[in-house]
Amino acid sequence: MVRVTVWNEFRHEKTNKAVAATYPSGMHEAIAAHLRRSGDLQVRTATLDEREHGLSARAVNETDVLVWWGHVAHDDVSDEVVARVVERVWAGMGFVCLHSGHFSKPFKRLMGTSCDLKWREADDREILWVTRPGHPILAGVEDHFVLDREEMYGEYFDVPEPQETLLISSFTGGEVFRSGMTWTRGAGKVFYFRPGHETFPTYHDANVLKVIENGVRWAAPTGAVEPVKFGKREKGWLDRRSEI
Amino acid sequence: MVRVTVWNEFRHEKTNKAVAATYPSGMHEAIAAHLRRSGDLQVRTATLDEREHGLSARAVNETDVLVWWGHVAHDDVSDEVVARVVERVWAGMGFVCLHSGHFSKPFKRLMGTSCDLKWREADDREILWVTRPGHPILAGVEDHFVLDREEMYGEYFDVPEPQETLLISSFTGGEVFRSGMTWTRGAGKVFYFRPGHETFPTYHDANVLKVIENGVRWAAPTGAVEPVKFGKREKGWLDRRSEI
Amino acid sequence: MVRVTVWNEFRHEKTNKAVAATYPSGMHEAIAAHLRRSGDLQVRTATLDEREHGLSARAVNETDVLVWWGHVAHDDVSDEVVARVVERVWAGMGFVCLHSGHFSKPFKRLMGTSCDLKWREADDREILWVTRPGHPILAGVEDHFVLDREEMYGEYFDVPEPQETLLISSFTGGEVFRSGMTWTRGAGKVFYFRPGHETFPTYHDANVLKVIENGVRWAAPTGAVEPVKFGKREKGWLDRRSEI
Amino acid sequence: MVRVTVWNEFRHEKTNKAVAATYPSGMHEAIAAHLRRSGDLQVRTATLDEREHGLSARAVNETDVLVWWGHVAHDDVSDEVVARVVERVWAGMGFVCLHSGHFSKPFKRLMGTSCDLKWREADDREILWVTRPGHPILAGVEDHFVLDREEMYGEYFDVPEPQETLLISSFTGGEVFRSGMTWTRGAGKVFYFRPGHETFPTYHDANVLKVIENGVRWAAPTGAVEPVKFGKREKGWLDRRSEI
């Protein structure tokens, strides 16, 4: 059983009627509703305006994979919670970063880069092309899929060279973007997935939901999530052996 | 002084009048003419129908960077010459593979994959976007450049995850392609660069020539190109030391 | 159910009494016996001197993960079978290469390098250190494990930069070796694991067997193993759309 | 001309007589003295207790490659200076991190991991083995070199999978460590090089100095160091074109 927390800033939904109409319970609940259909995923949600953003030490310690959506309020996320999330990733928790989460504090901390990009809100058509067939995150996805209307994100996307490039998008405007990428940070797996502008029904799209679900399974830790043991070694292996 | 050999299949130019009109002396000479303007590059050309394809043991041994264009006659390249080229790459020779060279014997041998892709000859407009600013191969290139008419190459391009993804193209048809990628094979550097369909004047384009020139400099070996010493070690380092 | 084929050259066992004493039914059967204890793995073995080396088209097509051990008879493996294996990897079959399999035809073809290294048969003690904790291939392995006697393999090991470096060994002689590495080739996952000299009881070691078992599960394809569809596209995505 | 700043914490040298005896002017001056012998390098030094740690905005803006050594006073480095350094790396400045600099603020920020490791101060002999022959950072280095006495650093070293693994060390105690690794962060190149415990004369060793010098040249930016232009694009490329 993989314990998933879907985190959402959950601000647009409260102030923008169009967003609220598309996601009456918030984007997190749209995603969580899909994930809950899988018997092997145990899903909860958490949002920015909850106590400790819904990410108390206990909540984070009981999370195997954290899905993150944020946009206008990245700075409202407390550094203490960010440190908690990042350290949990290093210990093995999976981290699935969605869309404008590229500028979230945890993602920027994990990448070590500015995570900046080009963008335009103009109802672009987005085609996402598969660049790593056979990858578990792409299970059930054809060689491409289309989102009729999305925000444009364009290269250069300032992230480290990924371990795997899974999807590349083209937009009506002619721009391109690496829309699915993976990295490892400590024992934790990180997956960035581009789509999901709040004013479009992207998180109701079957392909998008499938990729998120696959991403959650892929990012799940194999064993227990616990800090690696570092630090001082009094004796070398060969010395220690002589004691046996 | 970097010793460069520009290799071309040189068949289209002999049979297709349109190609001959665009490249009267062959694509290799168009590329070589540009490279020869640099005082630090010593440039020769070689073509398929020369003796040993112009790639005798001596010629290969005196080459620091090999640029390769092939298309309809990949199978006419002898396996002996391919082995010679590949082994020289392992020893440190740079290899710059252009366009349809993706299906050449040396490139496939170096990649270890099928190197297959999707394609269409239909006068697509190609926009090449920079995805690794600051990379020496992209020196002097803006954040994108355009080729008005090119053959379309589309993902999935079956190559190993690259060390660096430098350029991604979008085409009129909506397709995308990783158009600039690098790998290391042994002590040798490999650069794949997509543009260059024979019926278009691509190798007269200033940006394309700049990228090829940069690629040649980037792929040039730092020191002498010579095989690494492998094989049996009679004694361990610690044993050998006791002899000193 | 993952369908595993454990392939072994199976020559040393027939000619060397010491090897036969350690592996009465061959190294392949020692490994297969361990894997068969897992209910989710369906295991068969195949050896060089069988018809088509036990790797007929049907046998390969019904294999999800191929484990490979070879040493003195790499050249006796037919090129036709090698092509069959390599193409199946590109389509998604996992490939687990053991020890001296580094010089096998399929591994060299998949890597695109010489795969050469330094070596010494001198009863070195090998310590294998974990360099990617949390990776599924290392599940259940402590931060290091020891093999009291093994053949030494030393760097430089001429393989492409790996996607992940999982284990690094040190030897009595002071040498080091990247003993666990992964790559992707097409849709297939490749895992190289160093230990396993035929004169030592390495394939009876609990840690070694655990890593091989984990490697088999990690390399198993997610979905059906089938060739990716490449080739000509008559129309661009945008043209095709106008027909709908 | 590459403008190099060698930064040193410069605290041990003031409090520990043994360190002061080995490095009378500080480790930074030992390194800088070597680099100054090269006509193409313009070298200055900077230390923690200078105003703004010797890393004013102007100083950083006039640095092409920053070499960093820190140990006991990482926390004394101001966050403002760290941000300045990190942003300059993203814009193209090279960063060469030495030894205990693995725990420095800039390196941890650039890596996105804990950068933790195992260690022991016990006069271990260190053998550094080349794992990427032909790499410019290893020019002039044999297949291995030895430091008679060094602090032990052992795996797991918690850094992201590197772009290239150049050197791996073994120690008297049997431990191993990836002692030379590279990454790209934005337009900047990062090189980590392990040796350099303050109580040993490591920065007087010819091989160590050669690797640092090579690393500085490798990390130097190709062109001007300036921030990439990100942000909003009013129109798509195709729309913009129609205006021309």
Tokens 């396993």 belong to C196
- 3-class DSSP state for residue B51? helix
Give chain D's mean pLDDT: 95
Instruction: Please tell me if residue C233 touches chain A, with a CB cutoff of 8 Å.
Output: no
- Position B161 scores a pLDDT of 98
Q: How far apart are the first and last CA of chain D?
A: 40
What mean pLDDT do residues C126-136 have?
Answer: 97
Q: What are the tens digits of pLDDT across the range D60-82?
A: 999 999 999 999 999 999 999 99
CA distance A48 to chain D (A): 23
Question: Do D170 and C165 make contact, defined as CB atoms within 8 angstroms?
Answer: no
Question: Do B155 and A168 make contact, defined as CB atoms within 8 angstroms?
Answer: yes
- Position B244 scores a pLDDT of 40
C178 contacts in D (CB within 8 Å)? 131, 165, 168
Nearest CB to A222 within list C139, C187, C222: C139
Nearest CB to B114 within list C114, C154, C186: C186
How many residues can be counted in chain C? 244
**From CA C235, how far away is CA C224, in angstroms rounded?**
28
Token pair in block for residue D75: 């926390």
| C-beta separation of C105 from C74 below 8 A | yes
Which chains form contacts with chain B, at 3 or more CB pairs under 8 Å? A, C, D
Question: Do D174 and A236 make contact, defined as CB atoms within 8 angstroms?
Answer: yes
pLDDT at D161 over 60: yes
Per-residue pLDDT of chain A in tens (244 residues, 90 and over written 9): 999 999 999 999 999 999 999 999 999 999 999 999 999 999 999 999 999 999 999 999 999 999 999 999 999 999 999 999 999 999 999 999 999 999 999 999 999 999 999 999 989 999 999 999 999 999 999 999 999 999 999 999 999 999 999 999 999 999 999 999 999 999 999 999 999 999 999 999 999 999 999 999 999 999 889 999 999 888 777 765 554 4
Question: Do D114 and A186 make contact, defined as CB atoms within 8 angstroms?
Answer: yes
Instruction: Give Cα C127 to chain centroid, integer Å.
Output: 20
| C-beta separation of C167 from C73 below 8 A | no
Q: What are the tens digits of pLDDT across the range C176-222?
A: 999 999 999 999 999 999 999 999 999 999 999 999 999 999 999 99
Instruction: Please tell me if residue A237 touches chain D, with a CB cutoff of 8 Å.
Output: yes
HSE, side-chain direction, 13 A CA sphere, residue A195: 32
b/e sequence C88-125, b meaning 16+ C-beta within 10 Å: bbbbbbbbbbbbbbbbbbbbbbbbbbbbbbbbbebebb
- Please give the CATH superfamily to which domain A2-113+180-228 belongs: Class I glutamine amidotransferase (GATase) domain (3.40.50.880)
Cα torsion angle, C42, C48, C52, C57, sign: positive
What mean pLDDT do residues D214-229 have?
Answer: 94
Q: What are the tens digits of pLDDT across the range B54-104?
A: 999 999 999 999 999 999 999 999 999 999 999 999 999 999 999 999 999
Phi first, then psi: what are they for B199, rounded to 5°? -90, 0
* pTM over cut 0.80: yes
D221 contacts in B (CB within 8 Å)? 134
> C131 to chain D: nearest residue by CA?
D156
**From CA C126, how far away is CA C176, in angstroms rounded?**
9
**From CA B215, how far away is CA B220, in angstroms rounded?**
9
Give chain C's mean pLDDT: 95
In terms of DSSP bridges, do strands A2-8 and C164-171 run parallel, antiparallel, or are they unpaired?
unpaired
In terms of DSSP bridges, do strands B65-69 and A144-154 run parallel, antiparallel, or are they unpaired?
unpaired
- Position C239 scores a pLDDT of 66
What mean pLDDT do residues C81-102 have?
Answer: 98
- Position A244 scores a pLDDT of 40
Token pair in block for residue D8: 């040193």
Residue A45 or residue B122, greater confidence: A45
Q: Which amino acid is at B141?
A: V
Domain B2-227 is of which CATH architecture?
3-Layer(aba) Sandwich (3.40)
B163 contacts in C (CB within 8 Å)? 161
Which pLDDT band holds residue B239 (cuts at 50, 70, 90)? Answer: low
Q: Which amino acid is at D242?
A: S
HSE, side-chain direction, 13 A CA sphere, residue D200: 19
- 3-class DSSP state for residue D169? strand
Helix axes D27-36, D206-219, angle to 10 degrees: 70
Which of B147, B170, B175 is the best residue to mutate to test the A interface, defined by the most A CB atoms within 10 Å of its own CB? B170
**From CA A200, how far away is CA A22, in angstroms rounded?**
7
Query: How buried is C36 (Cβ within 10 angstroms: 0-12 exposed, 13-18 middle, 19+ buried)?
Result: middle
Which of B130, B222, B226, B238 is the best residue to mutate to test the D interface, defined by the most D CB atoms within 10 Å of its own CB? B222
- Position A108 scores a pLDDT of 98
Which of A170, A222, A229, A238 is the best residue to mutate to test the C interface, defined by the most C CB atoms within 10 Å of its own CB? A222
- Position D233 scores a pLDDT of 87
Instruction: Please tell me if residue D179 touches chain C, with a CB cutoff of 8 Å.
Output: no
- Position C182 scores a pLDDT of 98
What mean pLDDT do residues C41-65 have?
Answer: 98
Question: Do D127 and B186 make contact, defined as CB atoms within 8 angstroms?
Answer: no
CA distance A12 to chain B (A): 31
**From CA C158, how far away is CA C180, in angstroms rounded?**
14
Nearest CB to B131 within list A130, A131, A156: A156
- Position B38 scores a pLDDT of 94
Instruction: Please tell me if residue D174 touches chain C, with a CB cutoff of 8 Å.
Output: yes
- Position D243 scores a pLDDT of 46
CB pairs < 8 Å spanning B and C = 122
- Position B209 scores a pLDDT of 98
Q: Which of the following CATH numbers is that of domain C2-112+179-229: 3.40.50.880, 1.10.3470.10, 3.40.30.10, 3.30.930.10?
A: 3.40.50.880
| C-beta separation of B26 from B11 below 8 A | no
Looking at C37-164, list the stretches that DSSP marks H as alpha helix, in order from N- to C-terminal side. 57-61, 79-91, 105-111
What ipTM is given for this predicted complex?
0.96
**From CA B30, how far away is CA B6, in angstroms rounded?**
10
pLDDT at D22 over 50: yes
Which of A164, A228, A235, A242 is the best residue to mutate to test the D interface, defined by the most D CB atoms within 10 Å of its own CB? A228
Cα–Cα separations (whole angstroms), residue D29 to D5, D12, D55, D58:
11, 14, 16, 21
**Closest CA relative to residue D32, chosen from D5, D70, D58, D60:** D5
CA distance B161 to chain C (A): 7
**From CA B143, how far away is CA B156, in angstroms rounded?**
24
- Position D236 scores a pLDDT of 77
> A228 to chain D: nearest residue by CA?
D156
Q: Does CATH place domain D2-112+180-228 in 3.40.50.261?
A: no
